[in-house]
Amino acid sequence: MRPRNVGELPAPASAGESGDAACGDVARFTVRIKDNVIEDVRYKVYGCAACIAAGSALTELVNGEYLLDAARVSKAVLEVALGGPLPSGKEHALTLALDALHKAFEDHWNREGGALLAEGYGPAANGAGKSVVAAMSGGVDSAVTALLLKEAGYDVATVTFRLHDGEKGSRSCCSPDTVLFARDTAHRMGLPHFTLNLKELFNRRVMRDFVGSYGEGRTPNPCVACNAHVKFHAAAFLADGLGFDRVATGHYARVAEGPTLARPVDGAKDQTYVLWPVPKELLARTIFPLGEYHKPEVRKIAEEHDLAVAYTPESQDICFIPDGNYRRFVRKKLDAEPGDVVDREGKLLGRHNGVVDFTVGQRRGIGVSAPTPLYVTEVRPESRQVVVGRRRDLDVREIRVRGLNWFLAPEEARSVQVRYNSEPVACEVEASESGEWVAHLSEPVAGVAPGQSAVFYTGDGERVVGGGVVSRRT
C-alpha cells in the first residue's frame, strides 16, 4: 500500500522529530491542532520501510481525532494498525513514529504556552471535578498515582516534564529514556500522555538559583524551588489547556481543610516539607493519592498490576546532578575565588579555594587541622571568609524567615522544621518590622543555614501552617 499523508504542513503547524540520521532512521511529524482536535497531520520518514509504514499508519490513526485520544495511541495500537507484530529488529519503528508525533504535541503546547512556560504559569481557577492531569516522572510513585486516580473514576491525562538535558540511559527523571518509559507506562494503563518542555523555566528558576545560592553563601533546596515555580504550575497549565479540573503528583502528602498540607500516613516518606511553596489557590485543586498509603503498599499495587516500574529504584536527590557532586556542578557554572578560613574571633586558620565549597554545619573538607573537630558556622561571600567553630557554636535559638507562604493563620504555628529529615522544634513566631518572620525556638537547633526552608506546623504537628526561606540565624 502506498504511504498516505506524506509531506509537511506549512507553518504555523507544530512539528516534532525523532531519530538519528547517523543511525539511518529519522521521523518528522507536523500537526495542526485547533480546539484540541487534530485538524491535519503529515509525516516524513528517512529510513527503513517499517518506519515509513509506522508513520503512515499513525497519521491515519490520529488525523481528525481529539488530542486526548491521539495522545492515548500506544505501540500496541499502532502495531495492530500495521497488521501485526513487526519483523524482529524493526520494533524501533513504533517508538520512532510515536516519539516524533509526541514531540509535535509538545511543540503545540509550547506554542500555546509561550512565555507562560518560560516564565511561569500563574494561579489557576479552582477545580473540584473528576478530571485530572497527573505528573508522571517514570518512577513507581507517579505511575501508581495515575493508576489509583483511574480506578477512582477520574478522567486521567498524564504529563512528563523535560526539565533539563538528562543523559541518555541515566536514571534522571528527564533523560530521553525515562520520557519514553513514562509514556509507555501511561499507554499500558490506557492513559493519554503528554510532555512539556520546561527547560528554560527550570534553568532560570531552579538551576541558576541553585548555583547562585552557593555563590552567595546560602544552602538551597532545588526540590522546593521546582515545586514553587515549575511542576505544579505547568501541570495546571496543561489541565486548563485540556479543560481538566485538577492536578495530581506522586508526593507523599495530603490536602487538609484550609486548604493546607497535611502529613501522609507514611511518616517516613513525608514530603510536606518540600511542598510549602505551592500556592494556596493551586493546592485547592491538587490531589495526592499516595498520602493514604505506605511505600511498600505502593510497590505492591504496581506489582499486582504488572507495572514495569514496580521495581525501579528510588531517584537521586538532585535530578540535574546525577553523580551527586554538587560542588563540581557549581564550579562549572560559577567562578570561585580563594579566601580565608577564620575562627569566630577572626583569627586566620587557613585558606580555601572558594566559598561555593562550603555550607553551614559542614565538618569534612574544611582543610584546617585542629585538636577538636571544626564545623563551618558561617559563610561570608562578600569577604570570601569561611568561619569555623566548635559543634556548640552551630546552635541557634532564633531564625528569621522570609518569603512566607501561609496556608493557615500564622498564630497557629507551634513548631518549625528546618530540614527534610529533621524533627520539628517547638517555637513561637512573630512578624518583624522588616517584613520577615522570627521563629523563637524552645530549644537550640544546630546547623541552620540561610537558604534552607523553614516550615511551620500546627500544635499536633500534622498540618502545615506555612513556610519560607531562612534569611538569618541568631
| Nearest to 13, CA basis, from 84, 73, 63 | 63
| CA dist 72 → 5, 62, 68, 188, 281 (Å) | 20, 10, 6, 9, 30
Q: Based on the residue annotation, tell me whether 226 is a catalytic residue of this protein.
A: yes
Q: How far apart are CA 109 and CA 217, in angstroms?
A: 38
Specify which residues 255 forms β-bridges with: 261
**What three-state secondary structure class fits 144?**
helix
| Nearest to 178, CA basis, from 187, 186, 169 | 169
Q: How far apart are CA 192 and CA 188, in angstroms?
A: 10
Contact indicator for 201, 166 with CB cutoff of 8 Å: no
Pick the catalytic residue from 51, 173, 223, 226.
226
Contact indicator for 386, 347 with CB cutoff of 8 Å: no
Pick the catalytic residue from 51, 174, 223, 319.
319
Q: In residues, how long is the chain?
A: 474
Other Cβ atoms closer than 10 A to 392: 9
Which residue is listed with cell 493519592?
289
- DSSP state letter for 449: -
Q: Based on the residue annotation, tell me whether 23 is a catalytic residue of this protein.
A: no
| Nearest to 352, CA basis, from 325, 323, 374, 372 | 374
Residue type, 176: P
Q: How far apart are CA 296 and CA 252, in angstroms?
A: 13
Q: How far apart are CA 5 and CA 17, in angstroms?
A: 16
- DSSP state letter for 166: P
List active site positions. Answer: 226, 319
